[in-house]
Amino acid sequence: MSAALALMAGGLVWYVLRGIRAGPPGWALGAAAAGLAFVPIALLIAVGDSVCVCFWKMPPYDEQAIFTVNADGTGRQRLTETEIQYGKPTWSPDGSRIAVAVFGNEYTGIYMMNPDGTDWRVIVDSVADAHAAGPSGHTGPFPEFHIPSDSHPTWSPDGTKIAFTRYLQPTKTRLYVVRKDGTQKTKLADAPTLAEDVAWSPDGSRLAFTCRHDGDHDICVVNSDGSAQVNLTTGPGYDSHPAWSPDGKRLAFHSYRDYACGIHLMNSDGSEPRLLAKSCGGYQPPWSPDGEKVAFTAVRGSATQVCVINADGTDEHALTDYTEDDMIGNLCWSRDGSRLAFWRFPRGTEYACDHADIVVMNADGSAATRVATIAVRVLGEYEWPNARTVPSGFAWSPDSQKIAFASIDTSAAVTESPKTLVTLFVFLFFSICGLVAVGSGILSLRKKGGCLAAIVSIVCGAVATALLVAWVVSCWSLGGVG
């Protein structure tokens, strides 16, 4: 890449100098304009998609809000005014409340609100809990205390309780349950390094989650009162993301064993485990509401696709036909089973772009529509031992009409950044240079002078202008999604 850029730069410098020395004014002007027009093209080749981030200058990740949007992409509504970091919002089973984890110094904890954003209240105050526990020896927002990170609130099926994971240290997590009014907070399980991906059984009597013992990730279950914690999977491997069947008789989960990964099924007591489908997606495989199908992500061909398979292992097929190998996650069925939603995150821009698309499609894969944009966050050291970049999650409303999600306000991405206007002006200037190159080349041809220079000016100017226009259009679409 460096050699190619050096060769391009050297050729352009030689051409511009030759034009200034020997040609008519049109020749020199065309050569100079063509050279200028290729400056941003070289920049795009050198740094790729990250230019989009510089161009659109999204607000920082800790300036998020909670939004809802209709399943067809209309009716976007902002629910919160405080700009801070939020986790995945989750609806109560009756749709009357939304719970969400908040991250950020004195606001850290689990909160709840009405679906219109009113009646905002704290359910779990992580800061107060840290002070009540006393000095911990860890550094944090307060020198003498470590503020735990409470996340992944998950409603019980009857809507009376919320389970959540508390990250105390990189190597210490706990699973808690609290009543929806914030009382009777109960510790259910300890895990040396992991207790997450929590899922309530349909009858609310048990919780399944990913645990870690002796270096292995397993599927564990515990009664809702904290008793009878057992490992359903054992042995070397990485088992994660359990999902209960609607009748509560089986669990689907993702597993990586013996250098092979896939979606597995087992009975709710851990018996009769079997491979359902080969998949390295690594996300919770959701059951269709009727219990007949399981959705998952898998690499098919050259790209990751959304797939479904019958629970008996028949009729596996892809619902999407993407050609770009983007990351896909947070698969979830609407409550009525008519649609699937997921986020799609450009893999090649994982550390450059700061948002992903929420896509909704029919259960047969038709009518896929981008309905919203969600923020991408890097998990901190107290949430995951190795920081990684992931989009925030989202959730369907119980009536299957809306989706709640956390995001930066992408509608303000351009107007809130002075650098954006400067960058836009600079790239428009370079586009004008490309047009000047085309015009001066045509002028030189008409005067029958400097034919080679004129042709090069026309080609360089036209290519540069076309590439710049295409890039601006693509970045406009990327950054301006509301």
Q: Which pLDDT belongs to residue 276? A: 93
pLDDT at 243 over 90: yes
For 281-347, the DSSP string reads --S--PBPTTSSEEEEEEEETTEEEEEEEETTS---EES---SS--EEEEEEE-TTSSEEEEEEE-G
DSSP lists the bridge partners of residue 275 as 264
Contacts 24+ apart (CB under 8 A), 84-89: 85/61, 85/377, 86/392, 86/406, 87/151, 87/152, 87/153, 87/392, 87/393, 87/406, 88/152, 88/330, 88/392, 88/393, 88/394, 88/395, 88/405, 88/406, 89/393, 89/394, 89/395, 89/404, 89/405, 89/406
- Name the amino acid, one letter, at 10: G
According to the per-residue pLDDT averaged within each range, which of 148-152, 253-257, 433-437 is highest?
Answer: 253-257
Q: What is the mean pLDDT of residues 265-285?
A: 86
**43-58 residue pLDDT tens:** 554 444 334 433 334 4
Please, what's the b/e burial string for 421-450 (b: 16 or more CB within 10 A of its CB; e: otherwise)?
Answer: eebbeebeebbebbebbbbbbbbbbeeeeb
Domains and CATH numbers, the chain: 2-56+422-479 (no CATH), 64-294+376-412 (2.120.10.30)
Q: How far apart are CA 50 and CA 10, in angstroms?
A: 25
- Name the amino acid, one letter, at 185: K
Q: Are 69 and 79 in contact (CB under 8 A)?
A: no
Q: Which pLDDT belongs to residue 99? A: 96
Q: Are 252 and 294 in contact (CB under 8 A)?
A: yes
Element (H, E) at 211: strand 206-213
Q: Which pLDDT belongs to residue 424? A: 56
Q: Residue 395: which of 66, 63, 62 has the closest Cα?
A: 66
Average pLDDT, the chain: 75
- Name the amino acid, one letter, at 306: V
Q: Which pLDDT belongs to residue 482? A: 32
Q: Which pLDDT belongs to residue 256? A: 86
**47-102 residue pLDDT tens:** 443 344 333 344 444 567 899 999 999 999 999 887 778 888 999 999 999 999 98
For the whole model, what pTM was predicted?
Answer: 0.71
According to the per-residue pLDDT averaged within each range, which of 186-190, 199-203, 418-422, 444-448 is highest?
Answer: 199-203
pLDDT at 233 over 50: yes
pLDDT at 362 over 80: yes
Of 391 and 186, more confident: 186
Q: How far apart are CA 256 and CA 388, in angstroms?
A: 19
Q: What is the mean pLDDT of residues 346-352?
A: 50
Q: What is the mean pLDDT of residues 414-424?
A: 44
Q: What is the mean pLDDT of residues 211-219?
A: 81
For 81-106, the DSSP string reads -S-BEE---EE-TTSS-EEEEEESGG
Q: Which pLDDT belongs to residue 164? A: 92
pLDDT level of residue 308 (50, 70, 90 thresholds)? very high
N residues, the chain: 482
**7-51 residue pLDDT tens:** 455 555 555 555 555 455 555 555 566 556 555 555 554 444 334
**102-121 residue pLDDT tens:** 887 677 889 999 999 999 99
Q: Which pLDDT belongs to residue 319? A: 95
Quick one: what percent of the chain has pLDDT higher than 70? 60
Q: What is the mean pLDDT of residues 308-333?
A: 90
Q: What is the mean pLDDT of residues 389-395?
A: 72
Q: Which pLDDT belongs to residue 302? A: 78
pLDDT level of residue 366 (50, 70, 90 thresholds)? very high
